[in-house]
Structure 1
Amino acid sequence: MTEAVFLTSEEVAGLASPAEYVEAVREGYRQRGEGAPARPRSKLTNADPPGMLTDYSAILPETGAMGGYMYAAGFADEDAWFMTPLFDSESGEPLALLDGASMNPFKTGATGAVGTDALARDDAKTVALIGAGSQARGQLRAIDAVRDLESVWVYSPTKDSREEFAGEMNEQIDPSVAAVASSAAAVEEADIVITATTASEPVFDGDLLAEGTHVTAMGQYHPNKRELDARTIERAKYVPDLRERVEQDAGSYIAALDEGAISDDHVHAELGEVVAGEAPGRESDDEITVFDSGGTGIETVASAYMLYEKAKDEGLGSEISFAPASEALTGR
């Protein structure tokens, strides 16, 4: 038998700062850029009741960890459940099992911040945020850790939601956060645009983007999820988290390709290649850049291992036992 640690969502919540998530995720993508294995999401769907079972995984050899996410969403209770198994990448032994719910916006936000840091102008100070849910909160708090922001304009179709979001975030971060009445009003003067929605249609007009804008899109992980229009993809240096997923579930890229706005060589590089210095990031102040963040095991393993290490230091978690196959399969 071998012992591992189980960490509840409550134990994981608040265990690390947004900046700590960003550094862990940046290191994970650097390893990916130097060849660390990662597999895009795989999804099984159920018709009745409607729901999906999704997983993705990665190995981070320098971190010494491997694992990923497996989550169920929809089904009869229309909720979601996140499980994060973590293994030692040398021995293969289980290290931990995390309830991955509370870390989700932070590890996803950290990925957006790593993409922003790699591709946005160094002097970027203003943000347009489309979306006002938990993922938008995670994105903004993480990006605030990599740029000296001054102003944030948030738009959500529901007036109460965007105003509540602005009030809450004004208490958590230094830059001024204001709700605006349209996505156009948010985007027109922004240095950084973040989309954190579940939209199936573009949420702003790509012609509104000023030269030098960076866009991070994190809500397009399905062929029919399309936060960005073809014009945005056409104008931009396009960097996904994983190249392998772009024609599988990067909805905005797929639509732009289908419309003939881009050719199939439009992918500039993976984020990891940029972070590792294997490919250039921003090459001029006038470039428009897009980071397409659909979710991978890279940020999941990097974040989970960071939380596991911090939990050990603080004596958090409970022990669970796993039987090795050499014993269990033989009945010894």
Structure 2
Amino acid sequence: MTDTLFLSSADVDDLAEPADYVTVVRDAYRQIGEGAPAEPRTKLLNREPPGMLTTYAAVLPETGAMGGYTYSAGFGAEDAWFMTPLFDAESGEPLALLDGASMNPFKTGAAGAVAVDALAREDASEIAIIGSGAQARGQLATTATVRAFEAVRVFSPTAENREAFAGEFADRLDADVSAVASAGEALAGADVVITATTASDPVIDNAAVEPGTHVTAMGQYSPGKNELPPELVARATYVPDLCARATQDAGSFLAALESGLIDEDHVAAELGEVIAGTHPGRTSDDEVTVFDSGGTGVETVAAAHMLYERASEAGRGQTIDFAPASEALTGR
């Protein structure tokens, strides 16, 4: 038997700041860029009631951890449940089982922030946020740790939601934060654009994205999710979290591919290669860059391991017993 720590969302939700997530996720992508393994999501669909079971995984040998997400969504309740198993990368023993709900926006936001730090211009000072939900909040909270934005403009279709978002971050950031009435108004003059929606059609116009802009799209985790216009993908230096995702479930990449504007070789590099220094990423101030963030085990394992270590030090969580196969299969 081995002791494994169970950590509820409440056990871990105050253990790390946005910048902490960015630090560990950056290092995790460096490891992937240097050859550590990670796989894109596997998604199984249930017809009735409609829902999905999704898994993805990564091994981070230098961190000493491996694991990922297994989560469900839909199934009548129209909610999601995030379970995060974490294993020791040397012994293979289970370290922890985390409720991954509270860390989800921050670990995903951290991947976007790492990409902004690597791909956006150094002088980027204005950011547009399309979307106002938990993921949009996580993206801005983490991205604001890598660039000193002077202006933040948020748009979402519901005025009440975008006003609440702007009010929250006006108190949190040393920036001019405003809610605006259209995506075009949000993008005017923006150096960084983040789309955090569940849209099936593009939420921004290609013409509104000025030369030199960096775009992070994080709502493109299935072929039917398509936040960016195909023309934007075609003119950009396109960097996904994992290359294998581009032709599997990256909605806007697939739309551009189907339209004939690009071919599969349009993927410039995956994020880990840029972080590891094997691909230059941005090469000019006029270049448009796109980071396609669909969610991976890379940021999940990095964040979960950080929270596990901090929870262990703080004496949080409860211990559960796991039997190794050698014992369980033989009954010894």
- Equivalences, count: 332
Q: Partners in 2 of 1:188 and 1:77 — Cα distance? A: 39
Aligned to 2:223: 223
Q: Is the 8 A contact 2:67 2:87 kept in 1?
A: yes
Q: SS of 1:282's equivalent? A: coil
Q: Determine if contact 1:195/1:216 at 8 Å carries over to the other structure.
A: yes
Contact 1:207 1:231 in 2 (8 A): no
After superposition, give the CA deviation of every residue in 1:29-88 in whole Å (9 maximum; x if it has no partner): 000000100010001111111100000000000100000000010002111100000000
CA shift digits 1:283-316 (9 cap, x unpaired)? 1111100000000000000000011111111111
- Taking the aligned partners of 1:11 and 1:105, their CA distance within structure 2 comes to 16
| Structure 1 SS opposite 2:319 | strand
2:329 is the counterpart of 1:298: no
* 1:175 Cα deviation from its structure 2 partner: 1.4
Within-5 A mapping of 1:136-285: 136-285=136-285
Amino acid at match of 1:189: G
- In structure 1, C-alpha distance between the alignment counterparts of 2:64 and 2:128, rounded to whole Å: 37
Deviation (angstroms), 1:129: 0.3
Helix, strand or coil for the counterpart of 1:228?
coil
Partner amino acid for 1:169? F
Cα shift at 1:317 = 1.0
Cα separation, 1, equivalents of 2:144 and 2:315: 30
Structure 2: distance between partners of 1:8 and 1:174: 32
What is residue 108 of structure 2 aligned with on the other side? 108
Shift of 1:209: 1.0
Query: Could you tell me how far 1:101 is from its partner in structure 2?
Result: 0.3
Gaps of 5+ in 1: none
Q: 1:68 & 1:109 partners in 2: Cα distance?
A: 16
- How far did residue 188 of structure 1 move? 2.1
Look up the match of 2:41. 41
Let me know the Cα RMSD of the aligned residues: 0.6
Instruction: Please tell me whether the aligned partners of residues 203 and 227 of structure 1 are also in contact (alpha carbons under 8 angstroms).
Output: yes
State the one-letter code of the partner of 2:177. V
Distance, in Å, in 2 between the alignment partners of 1:269 and 1:229 is 20
Q: Is the 8 A contact 2:36 2:60 kept in 1?
A: yes
> If the length of structure 2 is used for normalisation, what is the TM-score?
0.99
Once the two structures are superposed, what CA deviation does each residue of 1:119-146 show, in whole Å capped at 9, x if it has no partner? 0001101000000000000000000000
**Runs of 4 or more consecutive aligned structure 1 residues displaced over 4 Å after TM superposition:** none
Q: Secondary structure at the match of 1:167?
A: helix
Q: Match for 2:61: what amino acid?
A: P
Alignment partners' CA distance in 1, 2:188 and 2:267: 25
1:70 partnered with 2:84 = no
Between the aligned partners of 2:173 and 2:312, the Cα distance in structure 1 is 29
Rounded Cα–Cα distance in structure 1 between residues aligned with 2:188 and 2:175: 18
CA contact (8 A) 2:247 2:264 kept: no
Partner of 2:53: 53
Aligned counterpart, 2:32:
32
1:98 equivalenced with 2:98 (yes/no): yes
* Residue identity in the other structure for 1:81: W
The farther-off stretch of 167-176 and 32-41 is 167-176
CA–CA distance in structure 2, aligned partners of residues 168 and 322 of structure 1: 43
8 Å contact 1:128–1:154 — kept in the other structure?
A: yes
Distance in 2 between the 1:172 and 1:148 partners? 13
